[in-house]
Amino acid sequence: MTAIKILCVENHPEYMGPLKYMLETAGYDVMTATTGQQALKLMRAHPILGVLLDYELPDANGTAVRVEMKRLKPEIPVLLFNGVGGQTPFLLRFFDSYLRNPERPEAVFEDLDCQS
């Protein structure tokens, strides 16, 4: 089975390694970008199925980038976050559950309740 290709957009290169590692460990094929423009270019060129998007980017804010991503591919889930911290494992579990259960979004919350 082919891994789900996701895009991780994080403006701090020192955080990108751990994020990428966590996502790859969860079974994803991870593409990375550090700017909004890089992210949009990758969205246009690759079959991305989900996006983790940092809010604070050097060339745009995450909200503006998310709007453009949704214009390009409205069906793609885009999880907007602000920095890496204690909430990161929870966000990644949510993202993982959402991507793996797209036909049953309510299952996301059931899965999270079981993992807490």
What pLDDT is attached to residue 110?
A: 44
Nearest-angstrom CA–CA distance, 105 and 116: 18
pLDDT in tens, the chain (116 residues): 578 899 999 888 888 888 888 889 888 899 999 999 999 999 999 999 989 888 888 999 888 898 899 899 988 888 877 765 555 555 555 555 555 554 544 444 344 344 33
Q: Which domains does the chain have, with CATH numbers?
A: 5-115 (3.40.50.2300)
What pLDDT is attached to residue 83?
A: 61
DSSP E strand stretches across 11-62: 29-33, 50-54
Q: Which of 1, 54, 52 is nearest to 27 (CA)?
A: 1
